[in-house]
Structure 1
Amino acid sequence: MYNICEGQRIYLRNIELNDAKLVAKWKDEIVMRKMSVGLNTNISYENQFQDIKLSIEEGEELYLIIALKDNNEPIGYIRINWLDENKEMAWLRFGLGSHRQEGYAKEGLKLIIDYLFSIGTHRIDAEVLMFNYPSQGTLRSVGFLHEGTRRQAYYDGEEYVDVFVFGIVKE
């Protein structure tokens, strides 16, 4: 297990194959489905295992687990995909499976932003569904700006909804 960075209450470590069951559980929760992965998305242990395996084998992204320092409990994930081969532009996704609204996502995002900027990343993008107010607030609290709206870019199973585009650049 390799820790990417450590904060006051959490650390970020590389995802492992044995995290698949927990990630599948998180992503299958109704709140996570509604806010990010989609109500009609098939979530299973098998497809999460394969997704994690592919991520590890290809090594083209950072797929990290957010874990509590005091007991090593995994509570969420942060995923970074590179938008260019020089790793100067990143696309961020994140989710907490437990301990929501306790400041852990904010702490995790601060850690990954500092880490990415320290390795030469210039810009980080994130997309959030228009009704996902908690994630919008978390992104704003760590310096992301709402840069635009992709109108009716996501179908939530009942209607098309807007997707808000957020970004932060290294100053």
Structure 2
Amino acid sequence: MFCVSENLYLRDVKLSDSSIVAKWKNDPLIRELSIGLDTKITNENQESDIKKSIESKQPYYIISLKDSDRPIGYIRLNWMDNSERFGWLRFGLGEERGKGYSKEALSSFLQKVFSNDTHRIDAEVYAFNKISLNLLKSLGFIHEGTRRNAYYTKGSFFDVYTLGLLKGEFNYIKRDDK
């Protein structure tokens, strides 16, 4: 296991996770808020993506409930440099939304990542994705820039926010704060 929190644990992704990750990524809300409505994920292209992540040693974890071992989401990081000090964060939660699990998982993940030599984590959020924007800000991410009209969906253009988090800015959550 990569890390453990009060209710969750993060484990390395496996090729056999491709169908559940594809299911999550094809959820209409996840598609709308993070990967785009026009994007269709198949088991095959998800398996290929997982295989590439494993081969390139890009951190990719499945979020699971401790009490049932049931997978509920994923967190992944793409290293943007060879020294693994700067990464780009992506995450998604399946059906267990609204229970504080994303915040708990991300807090545990970031604490573990920053305990190593990682200095900076970036994330991108569509301007209309207030849930993820507020979550990231609650963990200490700072809005660093706006790519104006950089995303097109449903006949309209939307801004994309770039957020950054430095090691010293991370807001560790208390165990009872979800």
Query: Match of 1:18?
Result: 16
- Provide TM-score, normalisation by structure 1: 0.95
Q: Quick check: 1:153 aligned with 2:150?
A: yes
TM-score (ref. length: structure 2): 0.91
Query: What residue ranges of structure 2 are gaps of 5+ in the alignment?
Result: 169-178
- RMSD between aligned alpha carbons? 1.0
Residues 92-107 of structure 1: pairs in structure 2 closer than 5 A: 92-107=89-104
How much does 1:156 deviate? 2.0
Aligned residues: 168
- How far apart, CA to CA, are the structure 2 residues paired with 1:93 and 1:58? 16
After TM superposition, what 4+ stretches of structure 1 lie above 6 angstroms from structure 2? none
Structure 1, unaligned runs of 5 or more: none
Is 1:58 the equivalent of 2:32? no
Matched residues in 1 for 2:113 and 2:64: separation? 19
Summarize deviations over 1:107-131 as a string: whole Å, max 9, x none: 1111111111111100110000001
More displaced, 77-86 or 143-152?
143-152
Cα distance in 2 between the residues matched to 1:57 and 1:126: 23
Displacement of 1:56: 1.3
Q: Secondary structure at the match of 1:65?
A: strand
